[in-house]
Amino acid sequence: MGQDSIVIPFARYPERLIPRRSARVIYQVYPLTFYDSNGDGIGDLPGVTEKLPYIASLGVDTIWLSPIFLSPDGPDGDNGYAPTDRRAVDAKFGTLGDFRRLVREAHALGLMVLSDFVLCHTSDRHPGFLKSVAGETHFADRYVWHPGIPNGEPGLPRLPNNWLTVHNRPAWTWHQDRGAFYLHHFLASQPALNLNREDVQDAVIADMKFWIDQGVDGFRLDAVPFANHDPGFADNPWIDPQAGTQRENQRFAYSMCQPQTVEFLKRMRAQLDDHAAARGQSPPLLLGEVIDGREGGKKPTEVAAEYRNSLDSCYSFLTFWRRYPTSWDLKDMIAYIERHFPDGGHCHTLGNHDFSRFRSRMADLPPAARRQLRILACCLPGDLCLYQGDELDLTDADIPAGLEKDWMGRDPSRSPMSWTNERHAGFSAAEKSYLPVPDWHYFMAVEHQKGGFDSALDFTRRLIGWRQAQPALLAGDIIVIEAPEPMVPILRVSPEQTLLCLFNISNEPAVITPSHFMDRRFLHELRLGIDKKVEIGPYGHLAFGAREPAYATRPLRTPVPQGSPYDLAAE
């Protein structure tokens, strides 16, 4: 067991409950492949609006809308993550009016809307970058420039330092017109903004205020640790000097993960809150992407924790990657997150647009094990983010050669949403779709699953509805208890509810006696007898003290009294 594990041999009722941030269920919409309303083969904002009732039917409370900014087509535009104008909607998605209508109709359904916001860079075709290249007043230092290191020979100077992009290439590109190198942490078409300067920070925050004026409820902030850099441009040290050259072997002491990012986020938080208050709106919700830590990208949760006072929530990586965790893995993971986010504010994700889909990553697991991991993610503290199509258990798509859109190979998880058995699985009526739909995705469409009890869609709706009905899961303390393998007991406690979630992390039945690891107050509140033995099937889960959802498409079971086992994974 790792050194971060917090194990309580005998759980006692906490003397004081720590106030928690309210947890949300966030649904990520990737507009390019969600729903095409006008038959041009590309998903759009009216298409998202048309499908809002479906999103609301899942029981989620928040939408994260991936970028809709005006951006170049092709690889240089990085599908919206290289904006040329952060206040303009790309015409392929619709208009600003379409966006406002989406927000209004989402609010009418009780849904909050988060707009993806590219924080740290723009496109190299952005007017501000072109003015910076030309050295215009007020723009010359809006981006990060460096003359390079003279080498005493004709030709270009040497690179300013050893900083590398996330693609393990030099993070500097020479611009002939400026006669200097510019910094980029991602593609060369994505030059880094000089966010060490307060005037540049204010310009970025002004763009965010523009979207608040359009009614948006908050932002998903892209790549937060890359916001600032060391003004001295020192080399990053190598973790192992004998094995230098790979980005994973650099300690990001100077290129990113800088302490001034904390101050930048404080300024952002204060200005956005004031702006929203002046408009009579609630403070905007800020969800940060923090998937890179200082040690070659490792331990991003430690960096995310530095931003927790300014951001409402951060996700630092996918909750489960490619293997089934052991009980010790789970306890260590929970303890590690709790250490850094003691009052909540961490967002768990099972998938998103940048990674292989959950079903494909966990393809070697039996269905019961995959289902158990989804239940477990719902029982952990913090927000939960669900990526479009994961509620249908969609797999990665095979994209034929010549039809790829993303040069990094992320298209398999970005294939169109499956709605019906019609052309392109109901995503588009066009002759040609933005990305092709695999044959097997037709059989997994919403139309086929919406009436099927215990389909992936039905299970997701029931699971989210169950989570939303449990006060202890939305804002409760967590106690991870020592118990015999393969059991993982998790207690969630709030003033309104005590909830015991038991997980059998094995493919064999298991028996446990709760009184062996919990004090009498817990047993009394959960109505568990001293000699009560609980048997859980392979990859099973039981919850004691659970509340029946006030609404559900179908009940998980016939209604059960408080204190009876609540089996979410029942077939």
Q: Do 289 and 257 form a contact (C-beta atoms < 8 A)? A: no
Question: Distance between CA atoms of 571 and 568, rounded to whole angstroms?
Answer: 9
DSSP states of 416-459: PP---SSGGGGT--SSS-SSPPPHHHHTTSHHHHTT-TTSHHHH
Question: Distance between CA atoms of 383 and 127, rounded to whole angstroms?
Answer: 37
Q: Do 456 and 393 form a contact (C-beta atoms < 8 A)? A: yes
How would you classify residue 485: left for phi > 0, otherwise alpha for psi between -120 and 50, otherwise beta?
Answer: beta
Burial 448-476 (b: 16+ CB within 10 A, else e): bbeeeeebbbbbbbbbbbbbbbbbbbbbb
Query: Is 295 a catalytic site residue?
Result: no
Query: Is 222 a catalytic site residue?
Result: yes
334 SS3 class: helix
Maximum alpha-carbon separation in the chain = 85
Intra-chain end-to-end CA distance of the chain, in Å = 33
Edge-to-edge order in the sheet of strand 145-146: 145-146, 180-183, 172-175
Question: Distance between CA atoms of 392 and 322, rounded to whole angstroms?
Answer: 19
Set 44, 124, 217, 289: catalytic member: 289
Two tokens at 257? 């993960």
DSSP 8-class letter at 189: T
* Residue 65 CA, distance from chain mean position: 12
Enclosing H/E stretch for 267: helix 260-278
Q: Do 478 and 20 form a contact (C-beta atoms < 8 A)? A: no
Q: Do 371 and 411 form a contact (C-beta atoms < 8 A)? A: no
Of 551, 531, 448, 544, the closest CA to residue 502 belongs to: 544
Of 58, 28, 61, the closest CA to residue 350 belongs to: 28
Set 61, 78, 124, 222: catalytic member: 222
32 SS3 class: helix
Question: Distance between CA atoms of 71 and 76, rounded to whole angstroms?
Answer: 9
Q: Which residues are catalytic?
A: 222, 289
